[in-house]
Amino acid sequence: MYQTNEIFAKMPAATAASLFTHLSENEKELVKATVDSLAKQRNLRPVFVERKPKLERFAWMQEALGRPKNAAVAAHLLQIWLVGAHAKLLCDFLDALGIAHDENGTIEELPTAPDKAKLTTAVDAIFAQHDPSVVAVYLHAFQATDEHGWPSLEELLATDARLKL
């Protein structure tokens, strides 16, 4: 099971750029605080990072968030991006599994793991409706939200080529 920082390290650059673009447009203060924190870790002034061209800044942030010490920040950014930009994906996945959720696709407590056949059907359904790279990131992030995760999902993440980051 990947940790959230490993998800950042392995996600496609285009997916990371989509994530950072969404956050830059909708969560300006969060992005500023994140850049400040990441820059200070590297003994850089935040303005040095802020002045980089957008794609270069995004690549720098992705690399920084891929470090183990930034796992908590990485988890927070993934959650905000997924709920803010991809709530329909979250809802579609949970609906396919018959799991109750709010309008944003969030749940209070992780239920017991579904059987592999039901999970495979749900995964196939969301791949048919959503960006495959976002689906892969979401399912890895979903698995990472719980210390133990779902064994059936862990098996799919390890064996389904579509879910490789």
Rounded distance between C-alpha atoms, residue 124 and residue 128, angstroms: 6
pLDDT of residue 140: 97
One-character DSSP codes across the chain:
---HHHHHHHS-HHHHHHHHHHHHHH-HHHHHHHHHHHHHHTT--HHHHHTS-HHHHHHHHHHHHTSGGGHHHHHHHHHHHHHHH-HHHHHHHHHHHT----TTS--SS--PPPPHHHHHHHHHHHHHHS-HHHHHHHHHHHHHTSSS--HHHHHHHHH-GGG--
pLDDT of residue 112: 92
Rounded distance between C-alpha atoms, residue 20 and residue 63, angstroms: 13
pLDDT of residue 109: 86
pLDDT of residue 60: 97
Walk along the chain (165 residues) in steps of 10 and give the mean pLDDT of each run. Answer: 96 97 97 96 94 96 98 97 97 96 91 94 98 98 90 96 96
pTM attached to this predicted model: 0.94
CB 125 within 8 A of CB 95: no
pLDDT of residue 108: 87
